[in-house]
Structures are given as C-alpha cells and as structure tokens.
Amino acid sequence: MPDLRTPRRGVSAAFVLNGFLLGAWASRIPAFVERHGLSEGTLGVLLFVMGLGALVSFPVAGRLADGLGAVRLTRWIAAFYLVTLVLLPLAPTPVLLGLALFLFGVGHGAMDVTMNSWAAEVETVLGRPVMSSFHAMWSLGAGLGAGTGFVAASLGLPVTVQFLLVSLAAAGLLGPFMAVCWTSSTRPRDPEAAVFALPRGVLVLVGLIALSSGLGEGAMVDWSAIFLREVVGSGEAQATLGFAVFSVTMVAMRLCVDRLVIRLGSVRVARLSGLSAALGIALVTGPAVLPAALAGFVFMGIGYAALIPLAFSRAAADPEVPPGQAIASVATLGYGAMLMGPPVIGLIADASSLRIAFMLIGAFALLIAALAPVLGRSSAGVAAAE
C-alpha cells in the first residue's frame, strides 16, 4: 500500500488540526457563557486574554522556528494545543478559564506561525503556489470543528466529553500525516529585526484592508454563536451553525480565489469582497431570523475569503519595502485584528448591543471596498506566480 504521507498532506493536516480545535471551541462558547454566567463584557475580557496569548506567542514561535526548524516545532506545539483544548471545560472559575484560554491562545497562535513557515518551505520546493489551498484546509478544519459542536449540543454531550473526543480524533487522524519525513531549514535570528513590524506608506492602507478583514473573521469565530443565541433567539444546537456555514463557504471560495483574481483582477475581487461582506452583515443584523442570518454568514464567508491572501500578495509586490518585512507588517494588523477584535466587540456590545457591534464591522467591510484600488499592484504578482 502506498504511503499517503507527503509534505503537502502533512502541512494540510496541520492546517486542518489548527482550525478544527478553534472551531470546536468557537461552537461551544454559549455553553461556557451559561456555565460561568458570563456577561458580554466579561466574555470580551476572556477573549482578549486568549488573543493576548496568541499575540505573545507570535514572535517567540518565529524565533524558535528559525532555530529549531518549523516542522519539528509545529508537531510539538500541536501536542500542546491539543492538551489546552481539554483544559478549557475543566476550569471551575472564570479566572481559571482565563488562564486556560491564554494557554489555548498561545498554542493556536504559535502553531499558526510555525505551520505557515512549514507551508512556505513546501511551496518553495513544489515550485508552484499552494498557500491558498492550505488556508482552505484551515477553513475546512474550522467548519468541521464547529460541526462537532452542533452534534455534541444536539446529543446533549457535555463540553468536557466533546473536547476530549475532538482532541483524540484530531491526534489519531491527523497526527500520522504530520509525521511525514521533512527537514526544515534553520538559520540564526537577525538581532536587528523588529519584533512587531508595522506597515508604512501605501502599505498602511493595505494593512487597513487586512485589519478590516481580520475583524470580520474574528467576529465569526467568537461571536457568531452568541449572536444567533442572544439576538436571533436560536437554540444551542442551531447557534453552532453560523460559524460552520461561514467556514464551509470560506473553504469553497479560497479554492477559487487564484482563478478569480486572474480573471477579474485584484481590485475588482477586493471591491466585490468588501461589498459581499457588508451585505452579509446587513442580512445578519437586519431581520434577526435564522434563515436570513445564515444567508448573511454565507455572504460574509464569500467576502472575507480572498482579502487576507490579496493583502499579502500586494505586500510582497511592494516596490519600496522588502517582501518579508512588508508581509510581516500587514500580518501584524490582520492577525492582530482577528485575535484582538473579538474582545473589543464584547466591550462595545456590553456598552450598547451586539447588533450595533456587528454593524460597526459592516462599516469596516465598506472601507475594504473603498480601499480596494491599493491592491492593484498585486495582480501582476499573482499572475506571475500562476
């Protein structure tokens, strides 16, 4: 029987695992809210702690990946990440839940850095662009993870049992693929490199597109289930469907993004993406009924799927800033918003309402459509890569 473990499948398995665990957590947030009696503001603080853990892990994981090798570190962090998921429902108090979420955020963020580094190595060896397909696998994993929440809630399974089963299944099914034979390159760290790079010049506008997209994606991860439960009035099982629908749509779109950009151009794709995301948010916040909300999540998935890859492509093609530094600066805003935006949404919701907080995200989606022309230079880079 042929060995199905190839480097590309190994990286794909890592992306699926990373998204799978996050999706499982996101789908059961309402259960944690009910168990601990959390207000929207308190939940926002806890999500902030989780995001802080991820942000702290970014530079550390990057430096360790340079010295130890991305593939080895990805496997170690994956094991840690699996354990932290099981710890979440074991926390008896909100304070200890915050500590568990910090560790969960560290595992998620650190693995995000190292698996993308491994993916870049594999892409270089293959000699063709495959990064979008890896990110599609992340979205697939997130959707599957959210699906486990729907099944568990429908069957009345405790979160503790669900998360234990999720971790065991992820380790048993995906771990063997990640054990593929691969040796990562190692290099010494540049002592003069900035820990957190920020964009400058035109890249500030590119970074704003990444930030606006990150806000929308982060809101879907941490607030879609809460929105369906508290604003739409859905049951616990139905509330898990929002993020699952969003994630599945993201998978389908990310598999089509490269061809759409070649056919329509980066500017038009970005503009249509921003308008689609804004339309989705209007459907979610307007009628406040489940069918309209789920349709809105589909339009949001269509809208947000292409934006981070487009922003990275434009950054890499910048004529004034080196590609690595440019991508890092845009990623800081994009991933920072994805991780730190949800707690801000919680604070806004606590001060006003969750519907108003979502409307503000819609304003950022319209900003994406307005700023779309700054991505024009990325089309040539993408076409050349194809």
So what's the pLDDT on residue 260?
85
Q: Can you give the pTM of this predicted structure?
A: 0.74
So what's the pLDDT on residue 386?
30
Q: What is the 3-state secondary structure (H, E, C) of the chain?
A: CCCCCCHHHHHHHHHHHHHHHHHHHHHCHHHHHHHHCCCHHHHHHHHHHHHHHHHHHHHHHHHHHHHHCHHHHHHHHHHHHHHHHHHHHHCCCHHHHHHHHHHHHHHHHHHHHHHHHHHHHHHHHHCCCCHHHHHHHHHHHHHHHHHHHHHHHHHCCCHHHHHHHHHHHHHHHHHHHHCCCCCCCCCCCCCCCCCCCCCCCCHHHHHHHHHHHHHHHHHHHHHHHHHHHHHHCCCHHHHCHHHHHHHHHHHHHHCCHHHHHHHHCHHHHHHHHHHHHHHHHHHHHCCCCHHHHHHHHHHHHHHHCCHHHHHHHHHHCCCCCCHHHHHHHHHHHHHHHHHHHHHHHHHHHHHCCHHHHHHHHHHHHHHHHHHHHHHCCHHHHHHHHC
Q: Identify whether the C-beta of residue 73 lies closer than 8 Å to the C-beta of residue 64.
A: yes
So what's the pLDDT on residue 189?
58
Give me the residue spans of the domains in the chain. 7-179, 196-386
Give CA–CA dist 3/1, Å, rounded: 7
So what's the pLDDT on residue 378?
40
So what's the pLDDT on residue 185?
65
So what's the pLDDT on residue 379?
38
Rg, the chain, Cα only: 20
So what's the pLDDT on residue 188?
59
**In this structure, which CATH number among 1.20.1250.20, 3.60.20.10, 1.10.8.50, 1.10.287.3240 belongs to the domain 7-179?**
1.20.1250.20
In this structure, what token pair is assigned to residue 187?
């290099």
So what's the pLDDT on residue 328?
62
Positions of the chain with pLDDT under 50: 1-2, 323, 378-386
So what's the pLDDT on residue 193?
56
Q: Please list, residue by residue across 103-128, b when 16 or more beta carbons sit within 10 angstroms of its beta carbon and e when fewer do.
A: bbbbbbbbbbbbbbbbbebbbeeeee
Query: Class assignment of domain 196-386?
Result: mainly alpha
Give CA–CA dist 339/49, Å, rounded: 10
